[in-house]
Homo-oligomer: A and B are copies of this chain.
Amino acid sequence: MSKTMMGLLWTRDDLARMAEHVGSASRLGVTLDELGERVDDAMAAGIVVPGQGEAGSFEHNTHKHNGKLIEQAALVGRVREDSACLAVARDLLLAYAEIYRGMPYQVARNTNPPGKLFHQILNEQMWLLGASLGYSLLREDLSDDQRTRIEQGLFEPLLEMFTVTYEHDFDRIHNHGLWAVAAAGICALVIGRQDVVDKAILGNDGSGETGGFLAQIDTLFSADGYYVEGPYYHRFAIHPLCLFAEALALHRPELAIHERSDGRIGKSIRALLATAYPDGTFPALNDASRTMDIDDEGVRIALAVHIGRHGADPELVAMAAQQRGTWAHGFGVDLAEAVARSSASATIPSALLSDGAGGQAHLKQGEGAQRHHLVVAAGQHGMGHGHFDLLGLSLFSAGRERLNEYGYCRWVNVEPKFGGRYLAENEGYAKQSVAHNLVVVDQASQHRGDHRLADQSAGRIEQFVDRSDVDGVTAVCCSNDDAYPGVTLRRHCLLLTTELSEHPLLVDIVEASGHERHCYDYVFNFTGQVIKWWGGYAARDTLEVLGEADGYQHLWVVGEQRGSQDGPSSHAMTWLDGDRFITWHQRSQHPTNAMQLLVGANDPERNLRHEKKVMARSHAEATVFVNVFEQHGHFDEAHEACLNARPTLKSVEFDRLADERIEVRLTFPWRRETLVIDPNAASGSDYVSLKGGGYMK
């Protein structure tokens, strides 16, 4: 075995260690078997290099597949020491080298410039990255002629496209920019174009400050490693980040890339992992699918890199155990071995991830499959992929998102859905404030739905405390006063584990303070079947559209529960979500009317999902909504077993005290619990006080 390199990222020693996992049930064994099967299938089917096509077309999919296949076949060939596999990679490279220069550019379909194989250069960069890594594994066995044909026919024009033709795009501090520099940099390292390597590291102006990989590391992620576009794009950005970092760690060790910016790369990996729900899916903050998870290829690489570079932290090993496979690399061997060794489970604790201005709070309580995870968004907006959801929340427990994000409105790669691109309803509904779990003011989105305005704003984190091991309280207080001119919004979110309820309670208090009369809509999304609106409900026969703009035009009113018409108002509704009941209890300062809503109005192309919502509406200058979400009971339909379908919390009352403090009284059949919440507390331990006053019976 040897420490000498084979290809850009592997040593001969790594490849030998990897070979030992082939056919095993380890994470790496699973990956190598999958890769082996794909390469075997490709050899059986024969390689195909088609012409140009639309996103989602056969041509598009085949080019995408081929780009990965070049790397996979080369890697499998080296692991198996099988020249037939290597030949697949070589023949693909030669075939593309034959046609690439002569291929015309596609027509631009979005703001991303067009490539030749794909309609946006982002895909072309991803393709180049895989092809370059594959080529690096082959290069030493090729003839001079073959090398020349591949480098001159394929890689040189690709590098020219990215660094000359689209030079203006190369320095963009953005996830696309990261792919651009990583792809160009890796390709240039492989074919020995040091000038391009330098440009990829230092940017067009060579300063390392306005563009290039170093600037991306320094400025794309916050000091905590948070990525402003949210976890969905973070896991996409971390893929080229980790690959190019490894290439530079090996081939430009003098850069000490992993130490850069106080270990920013490692922090970024940890920040991403901290956002994942207990089942491994990422909360759909900003534009995002609701199914993206830690088994994504980028996260596989990131976890392996972290374990390889920083050791087998038990929390990360436990996450690796949730993945199906890992990175086919020496670090994948390290990870697989760490998973095999580990027995105890560990979880990443509650975290406040600062994004440099505001932050994202991740409140977690409970263990294993019962773990609760509450996300409160109080950070920056997220640029073009941002949603107008400042102070929004989402709640996950026992395998399901209970108060759910809608996510983006898009079916990636589904060609009949507008070529798989973002749909009009993404702007029309998904991004708008009303699509989220928060209070909407005057039926309008935050910052007038203007990304430029929103990008200048952020949430303010006023308190964050995790006392889950002490008295069962994990809580955050956040606020904002520029999303709506003249209105200050403050939200207190608490997870509360006590002996009073089966599962942690979510106590959610929103204070909205304006100087004029406003319409305040407390909104939340839910999934499942309404069991009962406690205290009456009037169903609508004909469904009318709720509003005219800012997402309201996409909502139908299904029915309503009128609260008190003078003085404070109460609502309660129980629904069944999977096998668990959830009851929303609300007490509000002013009269409210609660509506059950359905998403899907004004949707000519059927691009919206028919999801359920509740909206409680108050008109006031300033008001308070105190909400408790109580999870209870169990329903097993197949076995026809049911327990505790009714909530146990009997009433929610509150008073506003001096100094912005709020006292909340929760009355259960057996006793009352009183919370005093003080946003101005000097320390987290004083922010929330529990004054549960003895048993009532």
Q: Is A289's CB under 8 angstroms from B413's CB? A: no
Q: A420 contacts the other chain (Cβ, under 8 Å)? A: yes
Rounded to whole Å, the gap between the CB of A630 and the closest CB of chain B is 14
Name the residue of chain B whose CB is nearest to the CB of A543. Answer: B543
Q: A293 contacts the other chain (Cβ, under 8 Å)? A: yes
Segment of A159-167, A641-649, A667-675 in the binding face: A641-649
A56-B645, A292-B638, A542-B542 known; A529 vs B606 contact (CB < 8 Å): yes
Q: Is A413's CB under 8 angstroms from B641's CB? A: yes
Within 8 A of B (CB), among A214-259: none
When chains A and B are docked, how far (Å) is the Cα of A296 from the Cα of B636? 12
A598-B610, A606-B529 known; A414 vs B539 contact (CB < 8 Å): no
Residues of B within 8 A of A412 (CB): 637, 640, 642
When chains A and B are docked, how far (Å) is the Cα of A530 from the Cα of B632? 34
When chains A and B are docked, how far (Å) is the Cα of A295 from the Cα of B529? 25
When chains A and B are docked, how far (Å) is the Cα of A652 from the Cα of B510? 57
Q: Is A289's CB under 8 angstroms from B637's CB? A: yes
When chains A and B are docked, how far (Å) is the Cα of A543 from the Cα of B538? 17
When chains A and B are docked, how far (Å) is the Cα of A291 from the Cα of B636? 9
Rounded to whole Å, the gap between the CB of A67 and the closest CB of chain B is 14
Q: Is B531's CB under 8 angstroms from A556's CB? A: no
Q: A544 contacts the other chain (Cβ, under 8 Å)? A: yes
Within 8 A of B (CB), among A383-435: 411-417, 420
Q: Is B640's CB under 8 angstroms from A537's CB? A: no
Q: Is B603's CB under 8 angstroms from A539's CB? A: yes
When chains A and B are docked, how far (Å) is the Cα of A606 from the Cα of B534? 12
Residues of B within 8 A of A351 (CB): none
Residues of B within 8 A of A559 (CB): 606
Q: A532 contacts the other chain (Cβ, under 8 Å)? A: yes
Q: A604 contacts the other chain (Cβ, under 8 Å)? A: yes
Q: A558 contacts the other chain (Cβ, under 8 Å)? A: yes
Of listed A414, A538, A539, residue having the most chain B CB within 10 A = A414
Interface string of A603-641 (1 = CB under 8 A from B): 111100110100000000000000000000001011111
Interface string of A271-304 (1 = CB under 8 A from B): 0000000000000000001111101100000000
Q: A602 contacts the other chain (Cβ, under 8 Å)? A: yes
Interface string of A515-545 (1 = CB under 8 A from B): 0000000000000011111000111011111
Residues of B within 8 A of A296 (CB): 638-639
A530-B606, A542-B542 known; A416 vs B645 contact (CB < 8 Å): yes
Within 8 A of B (CB), among A180-197: none
Q: A363 contacts the other chain (Cβ, under 8 Å)? A: no
Q: Is B542's CB under 8 angstroms from A544's CB? A: yes
Q: Is B606's CB under 8 angstroms from A637's CB? A: no
- Give the residue of B414, B545, B642 whose beta carbon is less than 8 angstroms from that of A531: B414
A293-B638, A539-B602, A604-B537 known; A417 vs B531 contact (CB < 8 Å): yes
Q: A468 contacts the other chain (Cβ, under 8 Å)? A: no
Residues of B within 8 A of A129 (CB): none
Q: Is B415's CB under 8 angstroms from A642's CB? A: yes
Residues of B within 8 A of A289 (CB): 637-638, 640
Interface string of A553-567 (1 = CB under 8 A from B): 000101100000000
Interface string of A584-608 (1 = CB under 8 A from B): 0000000000001010111111100
Q: Is B413's CB under 8 angstroms from A642's CB? A: yes
Q: Is B541's CB under 8 angstroms from A602's CB? A: yes
- The quantity of this chain's copies bound in the complex is 2
- Give the residue of B416, B530, B544, B640 whose beta carbon is less than 8 angstroms from that of A646: B416
Q: Is B543's CB under 8 angstroms from A542's CB? A: yes
Q: A574 contacts the other chain (Cβ, under 8 Å)? A: yes
Q: Is B539's CB under 8 angstroms from A635's CB? A: no
Residues of B within 8 A of A374 (CB): none
Name the residue of chain B whose CB is nearest to the CB of A407. Answer: B637
A56-B645, A598-B610, A606-B533 known; A414 vs B635 contact (CB < 8 Å): yes
Q: A576 contacts the other chain (Cβ, under 8 Å)? A: yes
Of listed A556, A574, A604, A637, residue having the most chain B CB within 10 A = A637
Q: A61 contacts the other chain (Cβ, under 8 Å)? A: yes
Q: Is B601's CB under 8 angstroms from A646's CB? A: no
Residues of B within 8 A of A637 (CB): 289-291, 411-412
Q: Is B539's CB under 8 angstroms from A604's CB? A: yes
When chains A and B are docked, how far (Å) is the Cα of A533 from the Cα of B541? 26
Of listed A533, A559, A610, A642, residue having the most chain B CB within 10 A = A642
When chains A and B are docked, how far (Å) is the Cα of A102 from the Cα of B291? 58
Residues of B within 8 A of A544 (CB): 542
Q: Is A539's CB under 8 angstroms from B640's CB? A: no
- Give the residue of B295, B529, B558 whose beta carbon is less than 8 angstroms from that of A638: B295
A411-B635, A610-B598, A635-B411 known; A531 vs B416 contact (CB < 8 Å): yes
Name the residue of chain B whose CB is nearest to the CB of A573. Answer: B606
Q: Is A414's CB under 8 angstroms from B576's CB? A: yes
Residues of B within 8 A of A532 (CB): 416-417, 605-606
A291-B637, A606-B533 known; A61 vs B643 contact (CB < 8 Å): yes
Residues of B within 8 A of A601 (CB): 541
Interface string of A76-87 (1 = CB under 8 A from B): 000000000000
Q: Is B530's CB under 8 angstroms from A420's CB? A: no
Residues of B within 8 A of A537 (CB): 604, 606
Q: Is A558's CB under 8 angstroms from B416's CB? A: no
Rounded to whole Å, the gap between the CB of A564 and the closest CB of chain B is 22
Residues of B within 8 A of A558 (CB): 600
Some 13 contacts from A to B, beta carbons below 8 A apart, are A289-B638, A411-B576, A414-B642, A415-B642, A416-B574, A417-B531, A417-B645, A531-B606, A539-B603, A539-B604, A539-B606, A542-B542, A610-B612
Top-10 shortest CB links A-B: A543-B543, A413-B642, A530-B606, A291-B638, A412-B640, A291-B637, A539-B604, A416-B532, A414-B645, A414-B642
Instruction: Identify 16 new A-B residue pairs, CB closer than 8 A, beyond the known A56-B642, A420-B642.
Output: A289-B637, A289-B638, A289-B640, A295-B638, A296-B638, A411-B529, A411-B531, A411-B576, A411-B637, A413-B635, A414-B645, A415-B645, A416-B645, A539-B606, A543-B556, A558-B600
